[in-house]
Chain A
Amino acid sequence: MAGRGKLIAVIGDEDTCTGFLLGGVGELNKNRKPNFLVVEKDTSIAEIEETFKSFLARTDIGIILINQFIAEMIRHAIDGHMESIPAVLEIPSKEHPYDASKDSILRRAKGMFCAEDFR
């Protein structure tokens, strides 16, 4: 697909956002809202969910990176996202290591298997 590339959005704690912005994914200008959200202790779940949904609605975002502990707060919204674009990737945070059993994608992939499937 030719044309302008899509952005990588980030919803994470301060260190995660700082790291990814250092990597060059950030966009912030007066015309559009930023493609990242720094989640602090006083950030409400409603704000996180609203930001996540706004990222899903934008056509210029290809991947959303989100700390897994934040993803747990809005698990219903993440599980409800079935489209391939934007792709949602859960990443660990400093205080919460990555847990594959909580990942939406892997749970969807794992859920298909039962004993009868192998007959």
Chain B
Amino acid sequence: MVLSEFEDLSLLLDEKLLRFMDQLELLEEKRAALNSLIEQGWFSISKARYSMGNKQVSALQFASEIEPLVCVHARTLDNGEVDFCTEKVQPKCSNEPEKHETPIEDVGPQEEGVRRRIKPKTDTMEKEECEEASSKKSPEITPVSRSERSPQQDPLKWFGILVPQSLKQAQSSFKQVIELSAEIATLQTAVLNTRQELKHSRKDKLILQERASAAQSDKIED
């Protein structure tokens, strides 16, 4: 009985070990692809910097408000592993109220502004304060309309209207890197999960071995 359990456990251990090795091999392959794509991306950025100028492709060009275009979904499976997958973010519907956003006063001239002619009574006090702050400001702008004024924008536009092809290639490389990153994150959790399973199975095997050797020594004494 103990022997059959021992054999089953040994087979299970072998299976898990092979799965672990396969996962490690796949992880190494994906890592190599990721590293190669990242290097390609850097090379394209360097080429774009060479043609546009050093300061034209730098952190100084990042927009003051950025919305993510890609998000990742993390799904925990029954066996404890986590599956990551990327998804393009759909543009926000302007009708949805942003309940969690508190209105933040924007001091200074607005890039776009619409002045409401009919002034509601409740806003009178706020309007007086705003008029004091800036004469060019349109005080009736609500948080919802503010979000409409900053729609999701292609990050390429931060660097100018006409960008070189190398910058577009860099963007394409990094988009592939992002997708691969999700796959690698999934594999990493799978590798660690399999490692834990192997550890537990080895402990069980050791316990069975001790039991078997104890049973044998009892038989010898008898």
A residues whose Cβ falls under 8 Å from a Cβ of B: 1, 4-8, 14-31, 34-35, 38, 62-63, 65, 84-85, 87, 89, 91-92, 94, 97-98, 100, 105-106, 108-109, 112, 117
Contacts and interface: CB of A to CB of B under 8 A. Distances in A.
A26 B71 contact: no
A23 B70 contact: yes
Nearest to A91: B38
Contact of B188 (A1, A17, A34, A105): A105
17 contacts: A14-B59, A19-B38, A23-B69, A23-B174, A23-B175, A23-B177, A24-B155, A25-B178, A26-B62, A26-B66, A27-B68, A31-B101, A62-B71, A63-B181, A84-B76, A105-B192, A112-B198
Interface in B168-222: 170-171, 173-175, 177-178, 181-182, 184-185, 188-189, 191-192, 195, 198-199, 202
B62 A92 contact: no
A30 B104 contact: yes
A4 B198 CA distance: 34
A-side interface mostly: mixed
A22 B195 CA distance: 36
B88 to A, nearest CB: 8
Given A19-B42, A84-B82, A89 B181 contact: yes
B149 interface: no
B64 interface: yes
Nearest to A34: B66
Contact of A28 (B41, B63, B80): B63
Given A25-B70, A105-B192, A112-B198, A15 B84 contact: no
Contact of A108 (B46, B174, B195): B195
Given A1-B76, A15-B45, A26-B155, A109 B167 contact: no
Nearest to A38: B59
Given A28-B63, A62-B72, 7 more contacts: A5-B89, A16-B38, A22-B155, A23-B155, A62-B84, A63-B84, A91-B38
A72 B135 CA distance: 52
